[in-house]
């Protein structure tokens, strides 16, 4: 999908924001991608409506792209827009796949200083945006991001929380982090530092996932810096369909698989692919051993070993060219 300018008059003109962090006003388009998750989207929008934003410092507008061709999110967005103090743009991206929806959001965001990203199963704390903007002003980083804290459904097995299967790596605030820790969740991105190519997100990764990781790694290779803001929390609402061993292990395989598929798309030397297969096989062996050793300590410990096994299998099979299209299946909420 090729990009084109945002529709005229959709948002206020931000062309005056040349010296981004030295200007009085910073323009931000906060983008949400959604697919048949009206309840989660409604909660996310409610969180956006409760953000603490100083209009003298931030010109905020919202972009919602619905990847459901039937436009199932339209009523939820219209209801929010009728009460929102921020401009809201809504569009349907009929071509299935997260990268297509992300690229449509970038198109609609137009000429802004920064693009923010939230998932439709996440609710930001009230200070989330102001904390990230403050970090931008202090650090002059190209990307600032914070943690996603999981909120498990009622009745979720205790081993899931104990095993940390939905937890993500965290850092002290101000830490300059590698790009591969970034994702389109709870993040602000300098528009001018995004990959200089026809589409910001690689559309070949439409169902495998990983297009956001590839996007940020490409930025890092071009010199972008990434800074962590540990207080800028978004809360991830985990649906019941994901709070189970089957989904957790499939996700482990998908993460490994998408990372290797991203490598394959770069057409590396065969030796590099063989090395990746070997690394995956090693993780499969060590993970299987850890699962056996962990059995006496309970399901959580055994699952941690199985997670590593499945991740390694994803790495190996991806390097051999196999694609696991996790995002063909919908997890509602």
Q: Same structural domain for residues 197 and 268?
A: no
CB proximity list for 92: less than 8 A, separation 6 or greater: 65, 66, 67, 68, 69, 71, 74
- Please identify, among 181, 206, 240, the residue that sits at the C-terminal boundary of a domain: 240
At 50 the three-state DSSP class reads coil
pLDDT along the chain (333 residues), means of 10: 32 37 81 95 97 94 97 97 96 94 96 96 97 94 97 94 93 96 96 92 75 92 97 95 94 92 87 96 97 94 96 95 72 51
Question: Residue 15 CB: number of other CB atoms within 10 A?
Answer: 8
Q: Same structural domain for residues 190 and 288?
A: no
- Please identify, among 213, 240, 267, the residue that sits at the C-terminal boundary of a domain: 240
What is the per-residue pLDDT across 119-144, written as a single tens digit (0 to 9) for each? 999 999 999 999 999 999 999 899 99
Position 329 scores a pLDDT of 57
Position 6 scores a pLDDT of 33
- Please identify, among 205, 240, 275, the residue that sits at the C-terminal boundary of a domain: 240
Position 328 scores a pLDDT of 57
The CATH number covering residue 28 comes to 3.90.550.10
Q: Same structural domain for residues 285 and 176?
A: no
Q: Same structural domain for residues 199 and 313?
A: no
Q: Same structural domain for residues 73 and 102?
A: yes
Position 203 scores a pLDDT of 84
Q: Same structural domain for residues 30 and 177?
A: yes
DSSP-assigned beta bridge partners for residue 230 = none
Give how many domains the chain has, as a whole number.
2
Domain assignment of residue 128, given as a range: 20-240
Residues 112, 119: Cα–Cα separation, whole Å: 20
What is the per-residue pLDDT across 192-219, written as a single tens digit (0 to 9) for each? 999 988 899 988 776 667 889 889 999 9
Residue 209 · residue 254 · CB < 8 Å: yes
């Amino acid at each position: 999908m090729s990009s084109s300018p945002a529709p005229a008059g959709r948002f206020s003109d931000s062309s005056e924001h040349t010296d981004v962090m030295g200007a009085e006003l910073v323009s931000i388009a906060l983008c949400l991608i959604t697919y048949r998750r009206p309840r989660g989207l409604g909660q996310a929008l409610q969180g956006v409506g409760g953000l603490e934003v100083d209009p003298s410092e931030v010109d905020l507008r919202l972009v919602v792209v619905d990847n459901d061709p039937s436009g199932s999110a339209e009523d939820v967005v219209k209801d929010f827009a009728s009460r929102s103090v921020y401009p809201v743009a809504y569009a349907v991206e009929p071509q299935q796949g997260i990268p297509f929806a992300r690229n449509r959001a970038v198109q609609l965001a137009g000429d802004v200083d920064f693009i923010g990203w939230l998932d439709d199963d996440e609710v930001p704390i009230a200070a989330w945006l102001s904390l990230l903007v403050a970090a931008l002003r202090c650090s002059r980083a190209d990307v600032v991001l914070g943690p996603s804290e999981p909120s498990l459904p009622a009745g979720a097995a205790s081993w899931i929380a104990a095993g940390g299967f939905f937890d993500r790596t965290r850092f002290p605030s101000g830490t300059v982090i590698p790009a591969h820790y970034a994702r389109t969740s709870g993040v602000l991105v300098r528009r001018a530092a995004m990959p200089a190519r026809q589409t910001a997100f690689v559309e070949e990764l439409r169902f495998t996932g990983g297009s956001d990781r590839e996007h940020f790694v490409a930025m890092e290779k071009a010199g972008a810096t990434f800074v962590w803001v540990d207080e800028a929390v978004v809360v991830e609402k985990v649906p019941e369909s994901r709070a189970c061993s089957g989904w957790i292990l499939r996700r482990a395989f998908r993460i490994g698989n998408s990372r290797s598929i991203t490598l394959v798309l770069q057409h590396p030397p065969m030796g590099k692919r063989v090395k990746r297969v070997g690394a995956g096989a090693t993780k499969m062996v060590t993970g299987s051993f850890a699962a056996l050793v962990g059995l006496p300590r309970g399901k959580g410990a055994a699952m941690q070993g199985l997670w590593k096994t499945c991740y390694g299998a994803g790495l190996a099979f991806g390097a051999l060219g196999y694609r696991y299209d996790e995002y063909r299946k919908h997890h509602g909420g």
